[in-house]
Amino acid sequence: MLIIPAIDIRAGNCVMLKQGKIDAETVYSKDPVFMAKLWQAKGASRLHVVDLDGAFGGSPQNLEIIKRIRAGISIPIQLGGGVRSLNTIDTLFDIGIDRIIVGTLAIYNPDIIRQAIEKHGRKLIVAVDVVDNKVAIGGWKETTSVEATDLAVKLKDMGIEEILSTDVKKDGMMEGPNIEGLRLIAKAARIGVIASGGISSLDDIRKLKEYEKEGIMGAVIGKALYTDAIKLEEAIKIGGK
């Protein structure tokens, strides 16, 4: 199971929010590039980067920092935040991003996802962010009436191979992930699910690892790493990579 450190960028800083709320922000570093290098040095085999300004603004806002992160590390990067057009997807691949995360497009413009799959194949990840089993979009500012499991099934049929699923209410709260919700999505779609939101201890990782065969293929860890509640090296030993 992949253990993936998170770098959330807002106003040039590496930050963490609670439940996606800007007024519940903590700045953990003023140098996201340094943090990327640190997580690679500690053994990460993939990095999760979110352009929070992009997520709230509708288009990427921190491209220069993202380019510097890409130039500073050799491991694969999955990037999300404000990716809402085919042109943006192409631009991010052109600067060397390995996997692009889209979310809002899956609800409002799935045709762009289909075009991107045709062009870029399995490099596309769809974020299925959840509030009470419903899909949240637009930087989590809007909760739709779409069931997360229904969307996951549609994405599988479209050719998506990886879903990133965050329980918004769990994010940044250090209360453990919504394992049952993650299992339901993986079971419904029979697709690889990367867990995100609330992972706060090594026991959380052990519990997620138990369901690897059911499709939970990875875990994005943010606040727990920055507060030393989880040591990345120990998490990787449990996850296996």
Compute how many other C-beta atoms are within 10 angstroms of the C-beta atom of residue 46.
20
Q: Could you identify the residue written with the tokens 């870029």? A: 120
Query: Across the chain, how many H-helices and E-strands are there?
Result: 11, 13
Of the residues 8, 51, 53, 167, only one is catalytic, namely 8
Does 129 participate in catalysis according to the annotation? yes
The sign of the dihedral angle between the CA atoms of 212, 123, 225, 169 is: negative
Does 8 participate in catalysis according to the annotation? yes
Tokens of 79: 């990037």
Pairwise CA distance, residues 160 & 220, whole Å:
19
| Exposure class string for 213-224: b at 16+ Cβ within 10 A, else e | eebbbbbbbbbb
DSSP labels for 177-213?
A: --HHHHHHHHHHHT-EEEEES---SHHHHHHHHTTGG
DSSP labels for 80-139?
A: ESS--SHHHHHHHHHTT-SEEEE-THHHH-HHHHHHHHHHHGGGEEEE-EEETTEEEETT
Tokens of 75: 């491991």
Of the residues 51, 53, 129, 171, only one is catalytic, namely 129
Tell me the chain's radius of gyration from C-alpha atoms. 16
Return the active site residues: 8, 129
